[in-house]
Amino acid sequence: MKNPFSLSRRLALCASYVAQDSRLADIGTDHAYLPIALCLDNKILSAVACDIAQGPLGRAKENILRYELADKIETRLSDGLQNVKKDEIDTVVIAGMGGELIAKILSECPYIKDKSLSLILQPMTRCEKLILWLYENGFAIQHQSAVTEDGKHYTVMLVRYTGEVKTPSPLSLYLGKLSKEHDEEKTFLEHTLNRLKKQAIGDDLARIAARQLEEYLYEN
Ligand SMILES: C[S@@+](CC[C@H](N)C(=O)[O-])C[C@H]1O[C@@H](n2cnc3c(N)ncnc32)[C@H](O)[C@@H]1O
């Protein structure tokens, strides 16, 4: 069936990081829009659409059946990756959750430090906490971008385990791989800077990060 719906720009950015012929685990799938769109576009071979709650999984199943994709997308009750086996997948998407929850889900998966696994992560909040966890645990951000949709700012990163542990500067926790040379990434960083400035009162790390980010954004 041809792809009849278009993803939100946020989910489309996640989809753009999925390699052709991937075998996907979509953790916190809810409606399963992402694996459905990827299947309809013939981009993935299979998907395990996981959620911690039955309600969202029921919604996912209805949508999967509507698009006649039950042979390619399996729904599964799973807290994080707990019920997903390594040999079923090569790509993990975790989108639409807080950065700390995403870090927790990754930390609880015994095979996450596999260099062949692509992780596509879209934290809704506390992105810096996720980046800190990634760097301290030997993961590298290979690509990162940002989109603005309905006045909200989102970032998505493609991450892989390298084994190289980094001690990030305050700036790099907020910058990740974003660049002021791209309009939507700059908008995301400016939004982050506004947030940091509010947080800076009584928070030394936020104050230092705000100063470093302001320098990066506005001084050549
Ligand atoms: C806001 S929705 C995001 C849906 C979709 N991924 C997106 O980005 O549009 C978050 C979903 O994550 C699920 N969730 C929360 N914690 C989870 C966990 N530990 N493991 C799996 N799913 C979880 C929730 O039940 C909910 O359906």
Is the distance from the beta carbon of residue 80 to the nearest atom of ligand 1 less than 6 Å? yes
Best of 13, 17, 30 for a ligand 1 pocket test (most atoms within 8 Å of beta carbon): 30
pLDDT value of position 65: 97
Is the distance from the beta carbon of residue 28 to the nearest atom of ligand 1 less than 6 Å? yes
Q: CA triplet 1, 88, 41: central angle to 5 degrees? A: 20
pLDDT value of position 1: 55
Where does the chain have alpha helices with state H?
9-16, 33-40, 54-66, 99-107, 127-136, 170-175, 183-199, 204-218
Best of 8, 14, 52 for a ligand 1 pocket test (most atoms within 8 Å of beta carbon): 52
Is the distance from the beta carbon of residue 30 to the nearest atom of ligand 1 less than 6 Å? yes
pLDDT value of position 190: 98
Is the distance from the beta carbon of residue 193 to the nearest atom of ligand 1 less than 6 Å? no
pLDDT in tens, the chain (220 residues): 556 678 999 999 999 999 999 999 999 999 999 999 999 999 999 999 999 999 999 999 999 999 999 999 999 999 999 999 999 999 999 999 999 999 999 999 999 999 999 999 999 999 999 999 999 999 999 999 999 999 999 999 999 999 999 999 999 999 999 999 999 999 999 999 999 999 888 889 899 999 999 999 998 7
Cα–Cα distance, 141 to 175 (Å, whole number): 11
Is the distance from the beta carbon of residue 99 to the nearest atom of ligand 1 less than 6 Å? no
pLDDT value of position 4: 62
What is the residue extent of each domain of the chain?
A: 9-167, 169-220
Is the distance from the beta carbon of residue 95 to the nearest atom of ligand 1 less than 6 Å? yes
pLDDT value of position 13: 98
Is the distance from the beta carbon of residue 170 to the nearest atom of ligand 1 less than 6 Å? no
Q: Are 51 and 28 in contact (CB under 8 A)?
A: yes
Q: How far is the centre of ligand 1, averaged over its atoms, from the C-alpha of 173 (Å)?
A: 24
Q: How far is the centre of ligand 1, averaged over its atoms, from the C-alpha of 207 (Å)?
A: 32
> Of 33, 94, 44, 34, which is closest to residue 71 (Cα–Cα)?
44
Q: Whose CA is nearest to atom 24 of ligand 1?
A: 28
Is the distance from the beta carbon of residue 108 to the nearest atom of ligand 1 less than 6 Å? no
Which CATH number applies to 9-167: 2.30.30.40, 2.60.40.420, 3.40.718.10, 3.40.50.150? 3.40.50.150
